[in-house]
Amino acid sequence: MITLPQAAYGFVALSFLVLTLVTIALFSARSESVLDDALDSAVRKRTEAAAQDFARTLHSDWANLKHLSRMIDGSDIGGVGEVMAGIRGNGERISWIGYAGVDGIVREASDGLLVGADVTERPWFRNGLRSGFAGDVHDAVLLAKLLQPKGGDPLRFVDLALPVTDGRGELTGVVGIHIDAAWAERFLTETAESLGVDLYLINQSGEVVMASGGQSPDEDEQKLLAAARLGAESASRDEWPDGQQYFTTLVPDVSYADLPSFGWRLAGRLDVQTFRPQIYTLVVSAMLAAAVALGALAALTHLFVRIYIRPIGALVENATQLAAGEAVYPRERNATREAAQLSAALAVLQARRQKISGY
């Protein structure tokens, strides 16, 4: 038959096993949903942060353009060229900046490029006559042969333009900036790498005009970004053509402060395996904690058995010897009230037995 110490050890071991199994079951049932919620929140917040950072960077160019438009009087553009050169800098970010009169003839420009050229048919000029304008990514036309991009890739621009008025509020022309799209894409790539996401800049037609890493999505990947064509915000878990699953979300408007709208949306995706290392670390830590807890519980159980259970066993053995007629003298046990009472009872029985035997 099982002994009291064995029963105590068995009870503690079984309780620990049941608790462990219940914990594992709950963790398995909840871990995936918790992980999905964390990924959903992460991809949304990171993509929103990337969109705001990208728009804020372009807004600094917009602020410079507004400052330049206020400097130009229309009739007197002396010294404007130096300001344009300062805004353009080394040309890595801003490829061209210039001012054209209402007749569409460029009167001043960085490095003198296109001065005297007719830009009446260019979207930045036509839209800039009416109000502030932000233009989508497009191939260079007039500057294609004047500027040689690094790497030999086709030169592409992002446009910003503003109308220029004189002191009487009369329209005198348009000032515009061509931002190098290659620089903008590199900036987007660096942002994506720092945030740990893949980013896709999508225009109003649903076309990906920039992508982190410089690789535009193929036809199958374009289908997964189809929500952009609807102009709707989305967040979902999808399997992409590379066989990996990603959480994808969409920021419906890339804007900041008074920057005119480019009509862009920013899609971001996050690999579902992103948080797996942390989960594995958590599991390993939990297993180590469980092992330590098991060791501590075993030690405490052993101590409990020695202090409280074994004295009961010793008294039972004394009772058995007393019943067999042996002359035994039970030790006084005070670990528990029950042990003390049993010890005292056996001592009384032994004393009575000796008294009867003496007669």
Predicted confidence (pLDDT) per residue in 153-197, tens digit:
789 999 999 999 988 889 999 999 999 999 999 999 999 999 999
Are 175 and 50 within one domain?
yes
State mean pLDDT over 39-50. 91
Predicted TM-score (pTM) of this structure: 0.73
Are 142 and 70 within one domain?
yes
Domain end point (choices 226, 253, 272): 272
Residue 229 in domain: yes
Residue 202 in domain: yes
pLDDT above 60: residue 354: yes
CB 182 within 8 A of CB 211: no
Q: Which residue has the higher pLDDT, 227 or 284?
A: 284
Q: Which domain CATH number covers 82?
A: 3.30.450.20
The string of pLDDT tens digits covering residues 271-292 is: 887 766 666 676 677 778 878 8
pLDDT at 231: 45
Are 321 and 235 within one domain?
no
Are 266 and 288 within one domain?
no
For residue 347, the tally of other CB atoms under 10 A from its CB is: 17
Nearest to 268 by CA among 183, 205, 193, 182: 193
Are 266 and 287 within one domain?
no
String of DSSP letters for 155-185: PEEEEEEEEEE-TTS-EEEEEEEEEEHHHHH
Residue 33 in domain: no
pLDDT above 90: residue 206: no
| Domain enclosing residue 295, as ranges | 277-358
pLDDT above 80: residue 312: no
Sequence-distant (≥ 6) Cβ neighbours of residue 161 within 8 angstroms: 65, 124, 125, 127, 128, 132, 133, 135, 174, 175, 176, 177
Domain end point (choices 221, 246, 272): 272
Cα angle 144, 145, 146; round to 5:
95
Question: What tokens appear for 39 in the block?
Answer: 């990924």
Are 307 and 260 within one domain?
no
What residues does 211 pair with on adjacent strands? 200
Q: Which residue has the higher pLDDT, 317 or 84?
A: 84
Pairing of strands 208-211, 198-202: antiparallel
Percentage, residues of the chain above pLDDT 70: 80
> Would the CA dihedral through 201, 206, 208, 209 be positive or negative?
negative
String of DSSP letters for 211-267: ETTS----HHHHHHTGGGGGT---EEEEE-TTS-EEEEEEES----TTPPP---EEE
Are 234 and 133 within one domain?
yes
pLDDT above 90: residue 352: no
Domain end point (choices 272, 304, 330): 272
Q: Which residue has the higher pLDDT, 315 or 169?
A: 169
pLDDT at 104: 95
Residue 216 in domain: yes
Per-residue confidence band for 127, with pLDDT thresholds at 50, 70 and 90:
very high
Alpha carbon distance 51, 234 (integer Å)? 15
Residue 166 in domain: yes
Cα angle 35, 37, 40; round to 5:
110
Instruction: Give the lowest-confidence range in 118-122, 143-147, 321-325.
Output: 321-325
Tally of domains within the chain: 2
Are 236 and 296 within one domain?
no
State mean pLDDT over 251-274. 91
Are 252 and 292 within one domain?
no
Are 248 and 297 within one domain?
no
Alpha carbon distance 349, 346 (integer Å)? 5
Helix%, strand%, coil% for the chain, nearest 5: 50, 20, 30
String of DSSP letters for 289-324: HHHHHHHHHHHHHHHHIIIIIHHHHHHHHHHHHHHT
Alpha carbon distance 59, 55 (integer Å)? 6
Residue 3 in domain: no
pLDDT at 136: 96
Residue positions counted in the chain? 359
Residue 346 in domain: yes
Are 288 and 168 within one domain?
no
Residue 10 in domain: no
List strands edge to edge, sheet with 235-239.
208-211, 198-202, 265-271, 245-251, 235-239
Are 231 and 165 within one domain?
yes
Write down the mean pLDDT value for the chain. Answer: 83
